Every structure is written in C-alpha cells, then in structure tokens.
Structure 1
Amino acid sequence: MSLETIQNTEPQALWAGMDGVLLRFGLTPEPEAMAAAQRLAADTENHTPDGVIEIAPGLVSVLLRFDPAKTTRTALAKELLARAQHIWQHAQDRPEPARRWTIPVAFGAEYGPQLEEVAQIVGCRPEEAIRRICKADLRVLVIGFAPGQPYIGLLPEEWNLPRQSSLTPGVPAGAIVTAVRQIVMFGAESTTGWRQVGRTAFRSFRPGQDTPMPLRAGDAIRYVQASGPEIEALERTGDLSGGAKLQVLR
C-alpha cells in the first residue's frame, strides 16, 4: 500500500454482531493504521463512551461492545467515527507506552533452532540478528489467537519474513517466533508456521492467577539476552514472570 493510498483512506465504522461496533483504519497492518488504532484504543480506555462494556483492540481496528439498554449502535458509531476521523487526520505517531516490560530470552541453539535461518534471510549474522531484536522499539500490538498470546512489533522492514510453507508441529511454552515483522511469544506449547529464534521463561497466560493475561495492547517490550541455563533456572523456580521486570511509565 502506498503512502498516497494510506492518506486517502478514511476510517470506517462497521456493525459487529448484535452489540458491537468495529472502527477500522485499514485492511493491512500498515504502521500508520496500527498507530491510529492504538490511539483510538487508548482514547476509548481513558474516555469510555456511555454504554460501552468491552474494548478490544486489533492490529488496525478497535472493537467496542455496548449495552443496548444504555446506548444505541447508531449513536455509538457516530461518536466513535468522529473520534477515529480526528485521530486519522492528525498526528499518526504511536501513543507513548504506559508500561514497559524487560524480558530475558535465550537465543539460538535448542532455544531458538531457526535463528540462523532467520539471520540468513534477514542478511546478517545470528549475533547481529539478536542485537537487532534486543534493540528494537517493540510494542504489544494485539492479544489474540490463543489466551494471552501477544503479537509484538514492528521489527524493521528487512524482518518482513514470510511464514513457513509448512507448520512446525510444536514449539514450547515461552517460544519466541517471528514473521511479517512481528514476534509472537507463546504462552503454551503450540503448532506454528513462524520461525523460532529464542525462548523465555515468561508466561503470557497464567490460568488461576489474579491477572491471567499480564500483557496489554500498547505495552512496550524490550528483550535482553540471557543464557540457556539462566532461562532453565528461571523456569524451575516456577516464577511465571520468568525474570521479567515491569516498569510503569505513567
């Protein structure tokens, strides 16, 4: 999608089920559309429209569910579309994160068996690929596919890797996988078409905990390199944070 096409795109308010309104900024995960969706999600969280009972951000959209006894779909769609158009017509930078996670990761070898393949596709050595991942300004774009599972991005353009042509039968909980300029951090063992470059002891889904899904859309993510034995030691402690540190920024 060209910049001209992006600039000429208008946000849309779409009906979603019996009690939902979907505000959509695009059809593909372009940075401008994602930034606008993040801004709208933050705006509706901070200034929730009357009658809204759930806010669910997507990559380029925001879904809001409402109580029909407190508002109408038409009224809600009109208010949300006005907010979306204002956001789209003004600065498209991402909102500043409210929280930042620093998460240890073991890269390569049995912890990231496809790191060398990824580095070759990107066009660098594995050590440089690790450095670029750890240096990247990453955010949780959306939580989806499985409970608590974050899609994290965006990596630089050279990381626009295609998915594999076949599935990997299983990657472990804590696997760090990458494709299409994004990172997924698995909360449980899973099949995937993305390439595994590392593993963390951090668990993004924690059944039975007061906060079963600790990550939120918009959270900043910073990965730091750790050794394999360090990650294994963290896993043995049973600490589901896996040595991660959470900093509240505002």
Structure 2
Amino acid sequence: MSDNRQTALADAAFPCIGRVGLDGMLVSFGDALSEPANRAALAFRAALDAAAPAGVEESATSLVSAFLRFDALRVDFGTLRSEIRGLLDSRDWYAADLPGGRRLWRIPTVYGTDLAPQLAEAAEAVGLDTETAVAQIAETRVRVQTIGFAPGQPYLGELPPAWDIPRQTDLTDPVPVGALTVAIRQLVLFSVSTPTGWRHIGQTAFRPFRPEAEAPFVLRPGDEVLFEAVTRETYERLCAAGPDGGAVSEAIR
C-alpha cells in the first residue's frame, strides 16, 4: 500500500467497528472502494469465520466492510466488540493474503452488437476505440468485490483508471440476465433483468443466480473473472450450453 493510502486510512480512523441495530456489528476498512480495503474486508471475514467467536451467527462482506450478526441473548455487544477488536488488531489486514478456496472463472462474452448496444458510448467516454476498449476489458482479471443489489449479482473490479466513468443519470431499459455493464472502474454481471444506470457493453450466457441449485450464488466474493471475448455466433451456440454459458473455472492457488 502506498504511504499516501496508509496516511489516509489512519486519518480516517480505519479500521473501525460500529453497531448495526440490536444484533449487528460492522467492521469497516475504508469509506471508499480501494483494492486494499476490499482485500482487508475479505481477509478479515475469512479469519472471523475461522475464529468463530461465541454468539456470532453469520457474516458477510460489502465492498469495504465485514458485517456480522450475533445472538444478543448469548453475548453482549461490548464483550463481543472487545474480542473482535483483538482480532482486528492482530495483523495488517490491508496487506493480508486473500482467503483460500477462491476460483478463477473464464466467462465467454460477446461485446457490442445489438445485444450490448452501449459499448461504443462507453469506449468514447474512456477515450478509446471499441477494439482497444474490448481488449482492455477482456484481458483484465477482475475480482468479485461483493455480491449485491440482486441475488448472486457480482460487482467486479478494478478496471484501469481510464474506466472511472460515471453511471448514467437516466436508467436504460431492462438489461437481460447475463448482461455485462460498466461504470466507476467496476463491472456488474446482472443476475436478473432490470433497468440500470450502468452502460451495457457485453452479453454472456452465464447465469450468476440459480435458485434451483444447491448453491444458488455461483460467484463468491474473492473469486476472479476473465470476460473473454467471443463472436456473436459462438455466443448464440453457448446459449444452449446450460447455465454456465460455456464458462469454466479453476482453483486459484
């Protein structure tokens, strides 16, 4: 981590612990998304689950925080806070290794065409021609930073700095399941069909949310993804290949 980033985190008094309602606790590693803060949240949540403090019933991560829910009848907030603070102070979570069990996914993606009509608009906002824009996206290995907005829907990043383009002020028509969208150096792979303010630049045949499956959320925070470019013809063929849409995965070692 850069000296400037370390100073900013220290000035902001992160990491910090806050209460959420009667039975929730939030451990925050920043007030804005950054790679170190996201890494810290993922690593800390894994360590928290391994430590299994008495009374903690579940945990989850957001972009820069780890949330835990506890049984307020078994343990009081102050006692649990002291235990969590001890774990928090045990190491530098911003430099921690990411948790094990992660997977690298390669998801075939058709960029542009009428299936993803905002590719040219996004490329222009970045200052690139569409071919170069596609190459940058397709060759960038992005991390699932969190799951949110809809069931099983991943937010992935970070893209190169030029992709720090804003969301649209107006919503577009609903994008389909498997839509790949972009804004603020992140990609979102849509698990449901919905209107969005993110620009629709690619389309996959991959279903991130499978309510019929034993594990309905396919991608998990910490997983990594390459959205590999394929032709429209290949995409059409993969639509009949099942919910993975031609995607393959392997363990990250």
| TM-score (structure 2 length as normaliser) | 0.90
Q: 1:90 to 1:165 in 2, by over 3 A?
A: closer
Could you tell me which of 128, 153, 164 is aligned with 2:132?
A: 128
Q: Tell me, in whole angstroms, the C-alpha distance in 1 between the residues paired with 2:11 and 2:93.
A: 13
Deviation at 1:6, TM superposition (A): 2.4
Deviation at 1:20, TM superposition (A): 1.1
Could you tell me which of 28, 32, 37 is aligned with 1:28?
A: 32
Q: Which residue of 2 aligns with 1:178?
A: 182
Secondary structure of 2:177's partner?
coil
Matches within 5 A, 1:183-202: 183-202=187-206
Matches within 5 A, 1:1-250: 3=5, 4-9=7-12, 10-87=14-91, 89=92, 92=95, 95=98, 98-237=102-241, 239-250=242-253
Secondary structure of 1:111's partner?
coil
Sequence identity of aligned pairs in percent? 37
Does structure 1 retain, via aligned residues, the 8 Å contact 2:43–2:99?
no
Q: 1:108 to 1:142 in 2, by over 3 A?
A: same
Further displaced range: 8-17 or 103-112? 8-17
Secondary structure of 2:170's partner?
coil
Does structure 2 retain, via aligned residues, the 8 Å contact 1:156–1:181?
yes
Deviation at 1:177, TM superposition (A): 0.2
Q: Tell me, in whole angstroms, the C-alpha distance in 1 between the residues paired with 2:149 and 2:93.
A: 31
Give deviations 1:168-189, integer Å, cap 9, x for gaps.
0211111000001100000121
Secondary structure of 1:15's partner?
strand
Secondary structure of 1:18's partner?
coil
Matched AA of 1:217: P
Question: Number of residue pairs matched?
Answer: 247
